[in-house]
Amino acid sequence: MKAKVIITPKAEVLDPQGKTVQTALEQMGCTGVGEVRVGKYIEIEMDGEHDEVKAKLSEYADKFLANPNIEDYRLKLED
C-alpha cells in the first residue's frame, strides 16, 4: 500500500518560505496569487490492512514526521 503524508504549517504559524514564494511569483508577473504555504510531501510503501497502516502512520507522524506544535498533516492511502 502506498501512503502519502502531506505536512503543512498550521494556519496560525507564520510561513516565511511560503511568503518568499508568494513574493517571487508576484515579481514574476503571476497575478491573483493568494496566500502560499510550503510544506512537505512524503510517500511510504507499507504492508498491512488499511486501518492498521493508517493507525501506524498517525503515530509516526505525531512522533517523528511532523512537529505537532507547528504542523498539521493529512494521510492518503492507496491500495
User: What residue type is assigned to position 45 of the chain?
Assistant: E
For residue 12, give the DSSP letter: T
- Is the CB of residue 41 less than 8 Å from the CB of residue 4? yes
Query: Which of these, 23, 17, 69, 57, lies nearest to 40 by C-alpha position?
Result: 17
**What CATH code is carried by the domain that includes residue 8?**
3.30.1280.10
The count of structural domains within the chain is: 1
- pLDDT for res 79: 83
Query: Which of these, 1, 8, 38, lies nearest to 23 by C-alpha position?
Result: 38
Owning domain of residue 27? 2-78
Q: What is the pLDDT of residues 35-74, one digit of tens each?
A: 999 999 999 999 999 999 999 999 999 999 999 999 999 9
Q: What is the pLDDT of residues 15-41, one digit of tens each?
A: 999 999 999 999 999 999 999 999 999
- pLDDT for res 69: 96
- pLDDT for res 44: 96
